[in-house]
């Protein structure tokens, strides 16, 4: 088991390394000169060359990469071109907000999605099942940002229950913070919630027809014991696999949700940086996101070994 | 309790089953969902192809006397900030959506399937290398990856297709690799080898055709995903240049007029949803029809 | 007198893809306290569905219990709601069930202890700690060594045999009145099967529990059952005491079954009499006798009148047949069938006596090791010696039987010979050439001279190709035909050779029955005119009546085409029937080689003796007089072979010196070799 974890860890490090290469390549192998972009179209060739030299852009690409990687390993993600602030400082303020959004959404989608899937599977073919199928099918098809706008229209503009946009940290003002959180979190949870419900339902249906469920019934166990004690744990194994992918999806969705609700998180920052070609900021942010996803996947793998004893050893 | 039968008894007596093709069509049509899905898709394709003949107005024709008009008989969904007919713009928007969907999935499928095939068939260090790169690509949320690549490339519609195509590659590579690994161990592939077949012949005659079903399903479902992503990217400002009609950017353009003209944002959103739901319906039905083991499970 | 369990006119159907399959169609039977009742039938006969229906355990939908009564202790169990307390008290409490698949019938994510305790707490209202104690006791009772520790193990940490012991412990935990064992030992090795059946009998006899044995294995039935019900196509066709059924079977199907299986005590030249045709499709079951289309005794009456009811043919003996042929008629028909097939075989191959020619394949010191890796860098730490120093040879025209239980390496030997693996060491001389180290490229032209018939006919046929394309593949890749016309002709010829109508050649594999698919597999193997064919458990997945068809086909083809077979099987009776010489393997090594007669009549290695003793003979009279030594313990994993002789830890003769050296295979005369230092 330790060997397996060690192997996973090494794999995660390799993946992370490749992430840095990808991030670096996207920003550097592509047409357009950052120095030119930063200085605008009126700059002279000398000015551009000077800046290129200052930024190290005149060095070979491989050298540039390792210089950057060396800095990254020392915790230095560079200085944002647009904000003229260290990327780490910018992220330190904004990352927690995005992480909060993501975490709350993940929790909400698990709490609602898994039971919905179980109920649909157990009541297969009934009205409740149809409702769950319908909603989860709709949930994976709705554009997140559109749902956010719809939410704003109904709950903020028409009903006036919730604020239109903005952010108040729940740690500073809990009541107000929650009011600002409700809609972004629910909107962001829609997609993962639907996929959890779908996956739970289908793996539950798969598990229910296994021989060991028949054994459990043949013992005379109550149906809910059969479902909760025997079927659920087996059915959750594939759901865990979904966790890592869903997290990547949630962070992606946060980019859009922060845009609609005007939340000062990393997602908004990243969109501005990408569209404004602030490549140092983009490199830093995407790298951090990649690292988070890789770590979560690692955690998922570890969780796996606890849920499924067959993997141990 | 409800469950799919796994008792070998009644099933194994089924000696004379209908032919494969008929069975497929029968299961496919048994689902009403498929009818709805296919119908929506058909309508969408017709709209995209014949947009200039169907749309009541040109999507670019401005009418500055009638900006932000509410729905009326002249403008069924009203007009936007420049007095352009919302309905016509949605109809023309079908083109961008479907095109991005098809092209980006074609890129992702083509590259991903080839990579997965290589990884699964060659194995060893090549397999590890390809799959770690895929893992790394998957570690970056597809929207962010596509946004970065698309923006770096320039940000036009073509760039969106390429960037989405790249972002979706890992899904295909992974699926294809898994398929190859399981199919190449199958007895019938070994049987081919023992008959004296060359590796290439075995690959073409036995392995590939048996990997196809889940790929078809994935491609169908992914068309929806790509269209959804395209809408998101154009909502963020990437994709078709301004006068052009794309659903995502229309939602964004309408957002400031939410209080007075909610339809400007809502209507294109509904269009996105319809297409995506349609692809999902067809995809799920395909899965059920192509894979009897999964029949009825989703 | 009222019975402990009485099932009356049970009808169960399944609605699948718009068809209604009448899986159980009017079955009545009873079980009395303490007796062992066997329900015998082939797959599709409805024997398992009947048992599941008693406890309403069939999946519904698509299953549906249409009508009938199940009277147990005065209550009709079918009237109870499947979720009701009353029915749940019966399930697991008063009626226990053991299922067929030990590998999938236990919950993989729960320790076996908890799975056992669950029942005890539920039905016997024990406390958790009491339940734990009792669970350990039960595990010990069913022969799980080191039960105090193993109680915390997960199912995957046990072998198949051990898991089935745990299932028995679970089913017996609450001292039920009836225990239903649904093909409970079918998936297990023959020695394990024997151990478990003895265990089951001991337990039910000592607790006066009634046992319902659901099985297709007539040998098991003959040894253990008091009474027998024979099922066919959803109905009971004959019932009676064990001795009556075997000594005086009255239904043509029962007789057919008995004639179709080879027995350990058969005369060698007995021709198996298969039951022709296939069981009916139960969604289109005729109203007349379901067996009629396959019955050689059918009369005009059978075709006109509705299916015959069970009628008494003797005290406690009933059969559902209008004709009820007498014993003389049965043997006359059998002789006629044998004679007919013999003449056809004789015409095809003028030489009756098998002539074996030169050595066609020589296996010398074959070793097939698989590396065991450990650690981050996957360093090789040891080897799994799946095949360890195996030598034997095969002569043209003979059939070599290769037997042994799971993990003995028989399939690995076959795969190494066919070069599906690259052997670690040793020589495989085929047609005068050592192919053990031949590169794959140079191997390809040799492929056409050897062929394999797979165990699983379904997975070995490419589902996307038509039957003709599958059978024709070797012809195409080896360029064995000159023209399209010749190709078509050859395909037709091959189809006819294996008894399939050439019209079927455009169909896909899933449109054939199991037996037909196996015929396709044989046709493919024959396509390139090979000298040598490996049959890897080629008949073990088939029902007995179909098995006989395929065995006969293989024998006929051998006579006609002068084929050489390496016949791998775990069924010792079948191997005895078909083989000229037999190789017995245990944990990667050959323990005994001899011609069939000396091996079966004078087995020398203690393992061979134990193996033969474990095989039940489908004859209660013979079984009564058989003395048997059942070896104890499980087959160790190939990774933990005992030192010295691999069998030493289970062998009754073993002494200290057996653990000190690996006994070499020694010739003891007359082509008989044994690897045991206790045998000289």
Name the nearest CA neighbour of C416 among C397, C441, C442, C391: C391
B24-28, B224-228, C242-246: least confidently modelled range:
B24-28
pLDDT for position C494:
94
Which helix (H) or strand (E) segment is A245 a member of? helix A232-261
Scan for tokens 């199907």, then name that residue: C253
Three-class secondary structure assignment of B12-26: HCCCCCCCHHHHHHH
> Contact A145/B235, CB-based, under 8 Å?
yes
B135 contacts in A (CB within 8 Å)?
Answer: 11, 15, 18
Chain B nearest CA to C281, separation (Å): 5
**Domain residue limits at B87:** 32-53+62-296
Q: In sequence order, which residues have a C-beta less than 8 Å from that of residue C585 and are 6 or more positions away?
A: C390, C402, C403, C404, C408, C409, C410, C413, C591
Q: Which of B97-101, B122-126, C372-376, C649-653 has the lowest mean pLDDT?
A: C372-376
ipTM for the assembly? 0.87
In a domain, B67, yes or no: yes
Is pLDDT above 60 for C352?
no
Cβ contacts of B141 on chain A, cutoff 8 Å: 248-249, 251-252, 255, 289, 293
Element containing residue C361 per DSSP (H, E):
strand C359-374
Q: Where are the alpha helices (DSSP H) in C498-605?
A: 514-526, 544-561, 572-578, 596-601
Which residue in the block uniquely carries the two structure tokens 């455009």? C506
Residue-averaged pLDDT of chain C: 88
Could C108 and A217 be called an inter-chain contact, meaning their C-beta atoms sit closer than 8 Å?
Answer: no
Whether residue B25 lies inside any domain: the answer is: no
Exposed e or buried b per residue across B218-243, where buried means at least 16 C-beta atoms within 10 angstroms of its C-beta: bbbbbbbbbbbbbbbbbbbbbbbeee
Chains that touch A (3 or more CB pairs under 8 A): B, C
A218 touches C: beta carbon within 8 Å? yes
* Distance in Å, alpha carbon of C649 to nearest chain A alpha carbon: 26
CA–CA distances in Å: residue C157 to residues A180, C112, C154, C523, C553: 52, 10, 6, 41, 41
For residue A299, pLDDT over 60 is answered with yes
Q: Is residue B132 part of a domain?
A: yes
Q: What is the CATH number of the domain that holds B196?
A: 1.10.3720.10
Q: Which of residues 248-307 of A touch C (CB under 8 A)?
A: 307
Q: Would you state the pLDDT for residue B7?
A: 30
Average pLDDT over residues C215-236: 91
Please indicate, yes or no, if residue B20 is contained in any of the structural domains. Answer: no
Residues 22-51 of C with CB under 8 A from B: 23, 43-49
Nearest to A289 among B133, B140, B258 (CB): B140
User: In this structure, are residues B176 and B211 in contact, taking their beta carbons and an 8 Å threshold?
Assistant: yes
Interface with chain B: mutation pick from C59, C455, C457, C543, highest number of B CBs within 10 Å:
C59
CB contact under 8 A, B6 and A15: no
Chains with 3 or more CB pairs closer than 8 angstroms to C?
A, B
Strand arrangement, sheet containing C581-586: C450-453, C532-536, C564-568, C399-403, C581-586, C589-595, C673-674, C666-667
How confident is the model over A272-280, as a mean pLDDT? 84
Segment C485-510 shows an average pLDDT of 91
- Which of chain A's residues have a Cβ under 8 Å away from the Cβ of C124? none
pLDDT band at B10 (very low <50, low <70, confident <90, very high): very low
Q: Which residues of A touch C90 (CB under 8 A)?
A: 220
Structure confidence at residue C334 (pLDDT): 67
Residues in chain A closer than 8 A to B132 (CB atoms) = 11, 14-15, 18
pLDDT band at residue C345 using 50, 70 and 90 as cut-offs: very low
pLDDT of residue B202: 86
The CA distance from B57 to the nearest CA of chain A, in Å, is 25
Residue C499 has what DSSP assignment?
T
Q: Which two tokens stand for residue A122?
A: 């157990």
pLDDT above 90 as % of chain B:
19
Mutate to test the interface with C, among B4, B10, B28, B206 (most CBs of C within 10 A): B10
- C680: distance to nearest CA of chain B, Å? 41
Q: Please judge whether C109 and A10 are an interchain contact, meaning their C-beta atoms are less than 8 angstroms apart.
A: no
Chains contacting B (3+ CB pairs below 8 angstroms):
A, C
Q: Which residues contact A222 (CB under 8 A, 6 or more apart)?
A: C83, C88
CB contact under 8 A, B148 and A26: yes
Q: Which of B132, B144, B276 sits opposite A14 (nearest CB)?
A: B132
Quick check: is B154 in a domain?
yes
Query: pLDDT category, C61, cuts 50, 70, 90?
Result: confident
Order of strands, edge to edge, in the sheet holding C425-430?
C379-395, C359-374, C425-430, C433-434
CA atoms within 13 A on the CB side of A210: 23
CB contact under 8 A, C170 and A215: yes
Q: Do C461 and B188 touch (CB under 8 A)?
A: yes
Pick the residue with more confidence: A241 or A183? A183
Query: pLDDT tens, B247-276?
Result: 888 888 888 888 888 888 888 888 888 999
Percent of chain C with pLDDT strictly greater than 70? 96
- CA dihedral C191→C196→C197→C199, nearest 10 degrees, is 130
Substitution target from A207, A219, A304 for chain C, most C beta carbons within 10 A? A219
How far is A125 from chain B, CA to nearest CA, in Å? 9
Residue B218 falls within a domain, yes or no? Answer: yes
Q: Do A10 and C91 touch (CB under 8 A)?
A: no
Please name the residue of chain A whose CA is at the shortest distance from the CA of residue B134: A15
Chain B residue with the nearest C-alpha to that of A15: B136
DSSP B256: G
B75 domain-assigned: yes
Statement: residue C279 has pLDDT above 50: yes
- Of the residues A4, A7, A218, A225, the best mutation for testing chain C's interface (the one with the most C CB atoms within 10 Å of its CB) is A218
Beta bridge partners, C536, equal: C568
Q: How many structural domains comprise chain B?
A: 1
Residue B4 lies in a domain: no
Surface of C (483-542) touching B: CB under 8 A: 507-508, 510-511, 513-514, 524, 527-528
Q: How far apart are CA C132 and CA C151, in angstroms?
A: 8
3-state helix, strand, coil in chain B (%, to 5): 75, 0, 25
Give the CA diameter of chain B: 78
Does the pLDDT of residue C351 top 50, yes or no? no
Ranges A272-281, C17-26, C278-287, C487-496, most confident: C487-496
C285 vs C604, residue with greater confidence = C604
In this model, does residue B63 exceed pLDDT 50?
A: yes
Give the number of other CB atoms < 10 A from CB of residue C267: 6
What digits encode the pLDDT tens for the residues A147-185? 988 888 888 888 888 887 888 888 888 888 888 898 999
Residue numbers in C near B13 (CB within 8 A): 21, 44, 279-283
In this model, does residue B11 exceed pLDDT 60?
Answer: no
On the question of pLDDT at C418 being above 60, the answer is yes
**Shortest CA gap B292–chain A (Å):** 13
Q: What is the pLDDT of residue C196?
A: 87
Mean pLDDT of A250-256: 91
Contact yes or no for A255 and B2 at CB 8 A: no
Test B187 with C464 for CB contact under 8 angstroms: no
Judged by average pLDDT, the poorest of A21-30, C504-513, C660-669 is: A21-30
pLDDT for the residue A104: 94
Q: Which residues from chain C sit within 8 angstroms of residue A233, using beta carbons?
A: 109-110
Which residues of chain A lie closer than 8 angstroms to B4, CB-CB? 205, 209
Contact C92 A218 (CB under 8 A): yes
How far is residue C236's CA from residue C240's CA, in Å, rounded to a whole number?
A: 11
- Answer yes or no: do A245 and B273 touch at CB < 8 A: no
**Parallel/antiparallel/unpaired status of strands C359-374 and C425-430:** antiparallel
Is the CB of A217 less than 8 angstroms away from the CB of C110? Answer: no
Predicted pLDDT of residue C631: 78
Minimal Cα distance from A6: which residue of C? C376
Token pair in block for residue A27: 């920003």
Distance (Å) from the C-alpha of residue B16 to the closest C-alpha of chain A? Answer: 25
Cross-chain CB nearest to A143 (options B2, B140, B269)? B269
Asked if the model's pLDDT at residue B211 lies above 50, the reply is yes
Q: What's the CA gap between A118 and B295, in Å, rounded? A: 18
Is residue B13's pLDDT more than 50?
no
Nearest to A274 among B140, B148, B235 (CB): B148
Q: How far is A115 from A108, CA to CA, in rounded Å?
A: 11
Of A299-308, B108-117, C226-235, the poorest mean pLDDT is in A299-308
Question: Average pLDDT of C410-435?
Answer: 91
CA distance to partner chain C, nearest, from residue A10 (Å): 9
- From A242's Cα to the closest Cα of chain C, the distance in A is 19
């Amino acid at each position: 088991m330790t060997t397996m974890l060690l192997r996973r860890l090494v794999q995660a490090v390799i993946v992370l390394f490749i992430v840095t290469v990808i991030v670096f390549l996207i920003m550097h192998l592509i047409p357009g000169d950052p120095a030119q972009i930063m200085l605008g179209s009126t700059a002279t060739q000398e000015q551009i060359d000077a800046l290129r030299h200052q930024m190290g852009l005149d060095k070979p690409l491989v050298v540039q990469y390792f210089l950057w990687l060396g800095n990254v390993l020392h915790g230095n993600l560079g200085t944002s071109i647009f904000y003229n602030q260290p990327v780490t400082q910018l992220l330190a303020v904004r990352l927690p907000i995005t992480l909060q959004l993501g975490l709350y959404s993940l929790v909400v989608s698990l709490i609602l999605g898994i039971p919905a899937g179980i109920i649909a599977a157990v009541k297969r073919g009934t009205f409740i099942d149809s409702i769950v199928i319908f909603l989860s099918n709709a949930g994976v098809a709705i554009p997140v940002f559109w749902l956010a706008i719809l939410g704003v229209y109904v709950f903020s503009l028409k009903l006036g229950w919730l604020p239109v946009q903005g952010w108040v940290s729940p740690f500073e003002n809990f009541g107000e913070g929650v009011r600002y959180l409700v809609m972004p979190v629910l909107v962001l949870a829609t997609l993962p919630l639907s996929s959890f419900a779908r996956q739970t339902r289908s793996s539950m249906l798969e598990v229910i027809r296994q021989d060991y469920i028949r054994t459990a019934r043949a013992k005379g166990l109550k149906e809910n014991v059969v479902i909760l004690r025997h079927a659920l744990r087996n059915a959750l194994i594939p759901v865990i696999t979904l966790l890592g992918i869903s997290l990547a999806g949630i962070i992606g969705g946060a980019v859009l949700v922060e845009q609609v609700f005007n939340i000062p998180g990393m997602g908004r920052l990243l969109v501005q940086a990408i569209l404004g070609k602030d490549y140092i900021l983009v490199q830093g942010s995407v790298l951090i996101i990649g690292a988070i996803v890789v770590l979560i996947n690692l955690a998922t793998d570890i969780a796996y070994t606890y849920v499924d004893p067959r993997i141990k050893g | 309790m409800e469950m799919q039968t796994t008792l070998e008894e009644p099933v194994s007596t089924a000696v004379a089953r209908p032919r494969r093709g008929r069975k497929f069509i029968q299961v496919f049509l048994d689902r009403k969902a498929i009818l709805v899905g296919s119908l929506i898709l058909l309508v969408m394709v017709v709209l995209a192809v014949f947009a200039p003949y169907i749309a009541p107005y040109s999507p670019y024709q401005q009418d500055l006397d009638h900006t932000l008009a509410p729905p009326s008989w002249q403008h069924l969904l009203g007009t936007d900030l420049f007095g352009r007919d919302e309905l016509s713009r949605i109809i023309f928007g079908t083109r961008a959506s479907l095109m991005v969907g098809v092209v980006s999935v074609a890129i992702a499928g083509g590259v991903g399937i080839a990579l997965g095939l290589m990884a699964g068939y060659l194995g060893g260090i090549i397999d590890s290398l390809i799959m770690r790169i895929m893992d790394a690509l998957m570690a970056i949320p597809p929207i962010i990856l596509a946004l970065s690549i698309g923006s770096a490339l320039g940000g036009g519609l073509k760039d969106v297709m390429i960037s989405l195509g790249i972002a979706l590659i890992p899904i295909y590579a992974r699926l294809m690799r898994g398929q190859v690994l399981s199919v190449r161990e199958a007895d019938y592939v070994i049987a081919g080898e023992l008959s004296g077949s060359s590796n290439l012949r075995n690959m073409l005659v036995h392995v590939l055709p048996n990997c196809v079903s889940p790929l078809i399903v994935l491609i169908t479902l992914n068309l929806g995903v790509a269209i959804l992503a395209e809408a998101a990217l154009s909502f963020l400002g990437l994709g078709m240049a301004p006068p052009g009609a794309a659903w995502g950017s229309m939602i964004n353009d309408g957002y400031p007029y939410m209080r007075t003209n909610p339809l400007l944002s809502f209507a294109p959103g509904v269009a996105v949803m319809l297409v995506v739901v349609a692809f999902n319906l067809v995809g799920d039905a395909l899965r059920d029809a192509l894979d009897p083991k999964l029949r009825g499970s989703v | 007198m009222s019975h402990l369990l009485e099932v009356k006119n049970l009808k169960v159907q399944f609605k699948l893809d718009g068809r209604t399959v009448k899986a159980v169609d009017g079955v009545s039977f009873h079980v009395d306290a303490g007796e062992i009742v066997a329900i015998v039938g082939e797959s599709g006969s409805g024997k398992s569905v009947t048992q599941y229906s008693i406890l309403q355990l069939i999946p519904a939908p698509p299953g549906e219990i249409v009508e009938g009564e199940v009277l147990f202790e005065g209550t009709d169990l079918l009237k109870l709601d499947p979720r009701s307390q009353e029915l749940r008290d019966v399930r697991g409490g008063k009626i226990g069930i053991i299922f067929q698949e030990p590998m999938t019938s236990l919950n993989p994510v729960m320790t076996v202890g908890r799975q056992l305790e669950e029942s005890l707490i539920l039905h016997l209202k024990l406390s958790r700690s009491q339940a734990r104690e009792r669970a350990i006791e039960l595990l010990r009772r069913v022969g799980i060594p080191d039960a105090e520790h193993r109680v915390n193990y997960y199912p995957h940490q046990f072998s198949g045999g051990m898991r089935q012991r745990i299932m028995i412990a679970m089913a017996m935990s609450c001292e039920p009145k009836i225990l239903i064992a649904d093909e409970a030992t079918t998936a297990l090795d023959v020695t394990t099967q024997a151990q478990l059946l003895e265990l089951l009998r001991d337990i039910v006899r000592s607790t006066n529990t009634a046992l319902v044995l659901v099985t297709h294995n007539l040998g098991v039935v003959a040894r253990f059952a008091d009474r027998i019900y024979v099922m066919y196509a959803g109905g009971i066709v004959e019932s009676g005491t064990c001795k009556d059924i075997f000594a005086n079977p009255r239904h043509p199907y029962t007789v057919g079954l008995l004639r179709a299986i080879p027995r350990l005590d058969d005369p060698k030249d007995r021709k198996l009499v298969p039951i022709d045709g296939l069981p009916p499709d139960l969604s289109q079951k005729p109203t007349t006798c379901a067996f009629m289309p396959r019955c050689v005794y059918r009369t005009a009456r059978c075709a006109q009148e509705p299916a015959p009811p069970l009628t008494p043919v003797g005290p406690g003996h009933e059969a559902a047949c209008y004709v009820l042929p007498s014993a003389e008629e049965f043997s006359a028909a059998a002789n006629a069938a044998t004679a007919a097939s013999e003449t056809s075989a004789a015409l095809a191959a003028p030489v009756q006596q098998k002539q074996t020619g030169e050595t066609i394949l020589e296996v010398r010191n074959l070793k097939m090791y698989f590396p065991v890796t450990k650690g981050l860098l996957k360093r090789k730490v040891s080897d799994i010696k799946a095949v360890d120093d195996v030598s034997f040879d095969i002569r043209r025209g003979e059939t070599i039987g290769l037997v042994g239980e799971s993990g003995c390496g028989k399939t690995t030997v076959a795969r190494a010979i066919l070069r599906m693996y690259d052997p670690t060491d040793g020589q495989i001389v085929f047609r005068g050439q050592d192919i053990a180290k031949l590169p794959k490229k140079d191997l390809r032209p040799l492929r056409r001279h050897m062929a394999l018939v797979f165990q699983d006919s379904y997975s070995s046929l490419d589902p996307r190709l038509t039957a003709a394309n599958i059978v024709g593949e070797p012809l195409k890749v080896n360029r064995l035909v000159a023209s399209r016309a010749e190709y078509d002709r050859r395909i037709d010829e091959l189809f006819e050779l294996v008894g399939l109508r050439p019209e079927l050649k455009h169909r896909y594999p899933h449109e054939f029955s199991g037996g037909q698919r196996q015929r396709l597999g044989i046709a493919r193997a024959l396509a390139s005119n090979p000298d040598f064919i490996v049959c890897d458990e080629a008949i073990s997945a088939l029902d007995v009546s179909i098995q006989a068809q395929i065995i006969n086909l293989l024998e006929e083809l051998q006579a006609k085409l002068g084929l050489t077979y390496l016949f791998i099987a775990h069924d010792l009776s079948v191997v005895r029937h078909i083989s000229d010489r037999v190789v017995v393997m245990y944990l990667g090594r050959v323990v005994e080689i001899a011609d069939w007669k000396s091996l079966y009549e004078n087995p020398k290695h203690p393992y061979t003796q134990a193996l033969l003793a474990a095989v039940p003979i489908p004859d209660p009279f013979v079984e009564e007089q058989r003395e048997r030594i059942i070896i104890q313990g499980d087959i160790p994993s190939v990774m933990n072979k005992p030192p010295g002789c691999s069998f030493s830890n289970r062998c009754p003769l073993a002494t200290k010196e057996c653990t000190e050296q690996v006994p070499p295979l020694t010739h003891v005369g007359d082509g008989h070799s044994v690897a045991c230092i206790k045998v000289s």
